[in-house]
Amino acid sequence: MAKGKAGTVFFCQNCGNESVKWMGQCPACREWNTFVEETVSKVSYGKGGGLSEGRRAGRPRPSVLSEVVIREEDRLATGIGELDRVLGGGIVQGSLTLVGGDPGIGKSTLLLQVCRNLSAAGHKVLYISGEESLSQIKMRADRIGEFARDMSLLCETNLNEITEIIRCHMPEVVVIDSIQTMYNESVAAAPGSVSQVRETTGVLLQLAKGLGVSVLIVGHVTKEGTVAGPRVLEHMVDAVLYFEGDRHASYRILRGVKNRFGATNEIGVFEMQEQGLAEVQNASEYMLSGRPENASGSVVACTMEGTRPLLVEIQALVCHSNFGIPRRQTTGTDFNRVNLLMAVLEKRSGVQLAACDAYVNIAGGMKILEPAIDLGIILAVLSSFRNIALNPRMIAFGEVGLSGEVRAVSMAAQRVWEAEKLGFEVCMLPAVCVKECGKSSRMEIVGVKTVQDAMEWCGL
């Protein structure tokens, strides 16, 4: 560890990058004004980390790859299907999982619901809060519903005490809410600082691997940079889940960004209700609710979130610009991508958009960067420009290249199937994907090679 003059180093509060001197901009994550000075001290973890199996027999020795036996991981199903899917089937025994998200998004609520389900199924769980008092937790628990009588709670921030209690009680699952409030006495830094957050997670990691306890850690994403963010410990944990969502909308998306025991990029969709978080079984239906019928500038596209197809409505508003430089704005998708697609439209299809303001929005507050929605964006922009409403029972997907060609996307068949399930009748997709989708009795499949083809078919 690099040390400054008085045993201090500077850490980036956003990504944990370390430096001997203060810097205005972090060279790793490019965030401004995130460096803070912290005192560093050596922490000893004691002997026998318990991470490698060879260690158990005393001195570590290498194993032969061909003789390693794969153990089926023991997984605890949380009883919340959407969460289990993101985790890859449940909580793996002895794993460390980080649940990050903005304050107030519902992390504590979700984990308390997990504790409720697990304790009701007879598992021993311990919910440790450093943020709320017992009565506050009880109030939340009352909103959520009936709890098993023997579920244990603990309000504590001192890691040594927590370690002792875990060793003593041996719960199967421990929730740490939140990592930014916990502190390790042997680290001189304040709770929430980068070194404190890292060292505490390190101790929890030893505990999880050593005792086979599954630990779920809550980490707040902070904007001000006074507290170290969860990104600082992403590399230490087995799985990282982020809670996203619009403050103004009631739905929440739980996104897996790292998972050593399953696929990443899976999402779970929840809705915040009076009685806690409810699973949203049919996310596409949810995203499309309230869609205007027969309005120009509205197109439904299909994106893949992990292995799951999701239908979203793309809205565009194109109107005459009153200024010399037209205004372009996007919500929920990449600004530069939309500009590029509009340039393709101008150049390849001769649509004069240069004097128009354009606003593109993914309805429902989702953020989608997948290029498969390109065709949808193009059709929405055109439909608004010409003021012609498209068939409301149609969906479109496909990546658009710089020559105006419509390129193949992955998992076309799943996308078509999702649209069919929701009662759509026409599906416009890249011509090369038509074969893959097979014949469908209810769905008319329109393969297009270029943007021009798509425009002609829609009469735009």
User: Which one of ligand TYD, Mg ion, none interacts with residue 230, CB within 5 to 8 A by kind?
Assistant: none
Residue 39: its H or E element: strand 35-39
Q: Which is nearer to ligand TYD, 127 or 424 (CB)?
A: 127
72 part of the interface to ligand TYD, by CB under 6 A: no
Find the shortest distance in angstroms from Cβ 201 to Mg ion.
Answer: 18
Question: Is 109 a residue that touches ligand TYD (CB under 6 A)?
Answer: yes
Closest approach, Cβ 16 to ligand TYD, in A, equals 21
From Mg ion, ligand TYD, none, interface partner of 48 (C-beta below 5 to 8 A by class): none
Cβ proximity to ligand TYD, 108 vs 196, nearer residue: 108
Using rule CB under 6 A, residue 191 touches ligand TYD: no
Nearest to ligand TYD of 84, 244 (CB atom): 244
50: left (phi over 0), alpha (psi -120 to 50) or beta: left
Host H or E run for residue 153: strand 152-155
Question: What's the rounded Cα separation, in Å, for the pair 300 and 315?
Answer: 9
Is 108 a binder of ligand TYD (CB under 6 A)? yes
Interface pick for ligand TYD out of 67, 146, 274, 293 (rule CB under 6 A): 274
CB closer to ligand TYD, 106 vs 268: 106
Assess 180 for contact with Mg ion (CB under 5 A).
no
Provide the sign of the torsion angle of the four alpha carbons 205, 265, 92, 250, taken in this order: positive
Handedness of CA 253, 257, 260, 261 (dihedral sign): positive
Q: Is 129 in the site for Mg ion (CB under 5 A)?
A: no
What tokens does 16 get?
Answer: 């944990």
Give min distance, CB of 252 to Mg ion, in A.
13
Q: Which is nearer to Mg ion, 108 or 117 (CB)?
A: 108
With respect to ligand TYD, which residue has the nearer C-beta, 54 or 104?
104
Q: Report, in Å, the least distance between residue 255 CB and ligand TYD.
A: 15
From residue 292, give the alpha-carbon distance in Å to each of 218, 238, 246, 296: 39, 43, 21, 9
When binding is defined by CB under 5 A, the residue of 108, 113, 181, 384 that contacts Mg ion is 108
Inter-residue contact 406 to 446 (CB < 8 Å) = no
Distance in Å, CB of 167 to ligand TYD, minimum: 27
- Binds 148: which of ligand TYD, Mg ion, none (CB < 5-8 Å by kind): none
140 lines the binding site for ligand TYD (CB under 6 A): yes
Q: Which residue is associated with the tokens 């429902």?
A: 364
Nearest Cα neighbor of 204 from 243, 166, 242, 235 is 166
178 cis-preceded (ω within 30 degrees of 0): yes
Q: What is the C-alpha to C-alpha distance for residues 25 and 28, in angstroms, rounded to an integer?
A: 9
117 binds Mg ion (CB under 5 A): no
List the beta bridge partners of residue 301. Answer: 312, 396
Closer residue to ligand TYD (CB): 105 or 316: 105
272 binds ligand TYD (CB under 6 A): yes
Query: 108 or 384: whose CB is closer to ligand TYD?
Result: 108
Single residue of 36, 83, 91, 107 touching ligand TYD by CB under 6 A: 107
CB contact burial 78-100 (16+ within 10 A = b; e otherwise): bebebbbbbbbebbbbbbbbbbb
- Under the criterion CB under 6 A, does residue 103 sit at the interface with ligand TYD? yes
Other CB atoms closer than 10 Å to residue 425's CB: what's the count? Answer: 14
Instruction: Judge contact between 109 and 116, C-beta under 8 A.
Output: no
129 lines the binding site for ligand TYD (CB under 6 A): no
Give the tokens for residue 441.
Answer: 């009795």
Binding positions for Mg ion, rule: CB under 5 A: 108
Binding positions for ligand TYD, rule: CB under 6 A: 101, 103-109, 140, 143-144, 272, 274-276
